Structure 1
Amino acid sequence: MVRVLSPYASGGRQCSRSGCSQAAITTLTYQYQRSQVWLDDLTAERDPHCYDLCERHADALRAPQGWWVEDRRSVDPRQTSLIA
């Protein structure tokens, strides 16, 4: 028998994108006045002013024209499968 657990079962969080049920690995924050977006490792606790994203949505992120994206994640999630 195979059990599939929700990300919430282990205390994890789900991607904030509508319709996505993947586990979040990245936290997105932004500052509208500076036209700046930051991608960080998933924060310890959910913040209502931030967005938690899965690997697919974090890697596909495109900010509006004229905005800057700073990826501050400590490890490139695409490399994690190569480490194991």
Structure 2
Amino acid sequence: MQDRLCSKVACAREAVSTLTYDYGDQMAAIGPLGAAGDRHAHDLCAIHTDRLSVPRGWVVVRHETISPR
């Protein structure tokens, strides 16, 4: 399996999440890595995932994975 890298310019860290936007609803969704090759999705490393910011008035939905007990 090939490592997926962060989509941010000049970042070579391994991607840990995928970001998608819905411009019509002014919403950004971030969650576990999605399918590779989706041109409407952006992979992010842990640092860029934590630092994510969106335009004023937008909503961010964070999908967390639940670990089994």
Q: Please indicate, yes or no, whether the TM-score normalized by the shorter chain is above 0.5.
A: yes
Q: Deviations over 1:33-58 (max 9, x none)?
A: 10000001001423111100000000
d(CA) in 2 for partners of 1:64, 1:23:
25
* Percent identity of equivalent pairs: 36
Which residue pairs with 1:15 in the alignment? 6
Higher strand share: 2
Q: Which structure ranks higher in relative contact order (CA pairs < 8 Å, sequence separation ≥ 6)?
A: 2
Residues matched between the structures, number:
66
d(CA) in 2 for partners of 1:46, 1:26:
14
Greater radius of gyration (CA):
1
SS of residue in 1 equivalent to 2:37: coil
Task: Report the RMSD for the aligned CA atoms in angstroms.
Answer: 1.2
TM-score for both structures, normalised by structure 1: 0.73
TM-score for both structures, normalised by structure 2: 0.88
Higher helix share: 1
